[in-house]
């Protein structure tokens, strides 16, 4: 007699942190490393096999968020997906989720990722007028 005990999908993936933070420069080239999110699932086989994704609820604050960042589905490594501009968006808040491959029901969990973009001096100074003039008396200290 051979008895096989099958694993039930009774554990959802758990992120190592509830909040991940990263500060990056707007001068980073496309494909640059931002951070890594990690989650584990103690279930076995497909019930414990997990995939990362950027949750649709992240798109509320920045509608085209996925155009800025890419989250590798298997490694949890987040990279830049386009050129960033601090003057356009100074901070991103993403909600990565991790879903196991459990059958019949897949379980999910989520965390928060806050990415602050640091400005570089890439804007040309602008003046309201072409010419400024003022008068100073010769016996005054300036």
Rounded Cα distance between 135 and 113, Å, is 54
Q: What are phi and psi of 108, to 5 degrees?
A: -130, 160
Q: Which of 43, 23, 18, 46 is nearest to 33 (CA)?
A: 23
pLDDT at residue 139 greater than cutoff 90: no
Residue 120 has pLDDT above 90, yes or no: no
Question: Which residues touch 74 (CB under 8 Å, ≥6 apart)?
Answer: 51, 52
The pLDDT assigned to 126 comes to: 84
Which domains does the chain possess? 19-118 (2.60.40.60)
Q: Is 59 exposed, middle or buried (0-12, 13-18, 19+ CB in 10 A)?
A: middle
pLDDT at 55: 86
pLDDT at 121 over 90: no
What pLDDT score does 111 carry? 93
**pTM check: above 0.85:** no
Closest alpha carbon to 14 in 46, 44, 38, 35: 38
Write the pLDDT tens digit of every residue in 50-91: 889 988 877 666 777 778 999 999 999 999 999 999 988 889
Stretch 94-110: mean pLDDT: 84
């Amino acid at each position: 007699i051979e008895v096989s005990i099958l694993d039930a999908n009774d554990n959802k993936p758990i992120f190592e942190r509830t909040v991940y933070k990263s500060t990056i420069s707007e001068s980073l080239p496309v494909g640059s490393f931002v951070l890594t999110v990690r989650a584990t699932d103690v279930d076995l086989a497909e019930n414990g096999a997990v995939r990362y994704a950027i949750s649709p609820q992240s798109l509320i604050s920045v509608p085209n968020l996925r155009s800025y960042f890419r989250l590798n589905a298997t490694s949890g490594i987040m990279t830049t997906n386009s050129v960033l501009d601090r003057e356009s968006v100074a901070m991103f808040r993403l909600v990565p989720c991790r879903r196991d491959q459990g059958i019949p029901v897949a379980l999910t969990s989520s965390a928060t990722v806050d990415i602050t973009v640091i400005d570089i001096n890439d804007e040309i100074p602008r003046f309201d007028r072409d010419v400024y003039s003022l008068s100073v008396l010769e016996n005054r200290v300036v």
